[in-house]
Amino acid sequence: MVENSRRIALVAMFGVLLVSLYYYSELPARMATHWDANGVANGFLDRDVALFLLPGISIAVYFVLMLMPYIDPLGKNVRHFHDSYELLALALVLFLSYLQGLSLLYNLGRDFNMVVALIPAFAGLLFILGRMLAVVKRNWSVGIRTPWTMSSDKVWDRTHSVGSVLYQVSAVLTLGGVLVQDKAVFFLLVPVLATSIFLVVYSYKEYRKLGGG
C-alpha cells in the first residue's frame, strides 16, 4: 500500500504540473489566486508565479511529510500507523492537485463558485484525517498536538479518540455547503474550527482530570 500511495502522489504532483505547463499560453497574464466567501476572485498574481505556486507547495509539503518520521523524536511511534500516515499525505497531495485544477479551470474562463467546488475535496480530506486520528500514536509530526496531549499518552489517546469521531462528523456537515450554497463558506469553516477549539479544551480538561497525565 505504501509504494502505491507514493506512486499515486508522484503522478498527481508532477501530472498537475505538466497540465499547468500545457495550458500556460492560454492563461491570462494575471491569474486569480484568491476568492472571497462568495467564490468571487479578489486576489491575483502574475502567471509565472501563480501557475507554479500550488504545485510547488504540494511537492514541498509531501517531501516534508515523508521526512518528518525520520527526524521526529517520537518517529518510532509513526510506524504503528504508517499506512494511515501515508494515506493522509496522499490525500493532502490530491487535495492540492484538485485545487490547482480548479484554479486552472477558473482562469481558463469556466464559470463556477470556487468555494462550493472546493467543499467535496475538503470534506474528503477532513474525513481521512478523522479516520487516521483513531489510530495515531503520540508524535510531533501529525495529530492533535497540544501541551497536554504531548505530555501524556492517556490524554493523547482520549483526545484522538474523540477527535476521530468529531472530524468525521465535521466532514459530513461540511457537505451541507453544496446544498446551501449561499452559506457555503460557513459550512466550510465552522465545523472544523469548532471541532479544533473543542479538542484543545478537551485535552486540557482530560489532563487535569488525570492529575497531570
- Separation in Å, CA 29 to CA 21, 99, 104, 107, 110: 14, 19, 13, 10, 17
> Which letter does DSSP use for residue 211 in this model?
T
Q: Tell me, what's the pLDDT at 148?
A: 97
**Who's near 16: CB < 8 A, 6+ residues apart?**
54, 55, 58, 97, 100, 101
- CB burial class (10 A; 0-12, 13-18, 19+) of residue 97? buried
Amino acid making up residue 138 = R
Per DSSP, what are the bridge partners of residue 194?
A: none
Residue segments in the chain with a per-residue pLDDT below the cut of 50: none
Closest CA to 100 of 4, 15, 192, 10: 15
In this predicted structure, what is the pLDDT of residue 125? 96
The predicted structure's pLDDT at residue 212:
64
Structure-block grid coordinates of residue 48: 509565472
Instruction: Give the per-residue pLDDT at 98.
Output: 97
Cell of 42: 479578489
Identify the pLDDT of residue 1: 63
Supply the range of the domain harboring residue 57. Answer: 2-209
pLDDT computed for residue 93 by the predictor: 96
Total count of domains within the chain: 1
What whole-number distance in Å separates Cα of residue 63 and Cα of residue 94? Answer: 14
Residue that the C-alpha cell 494575471 belongs to: 30
Asked if 119 and 187 touch (Cβ cutoff 8 Å), the reply is: yes
Question: Please, which residues have CB within 8 angstroms of residue 59's CB and are 6 or more apart in sequence?
Answer: 13
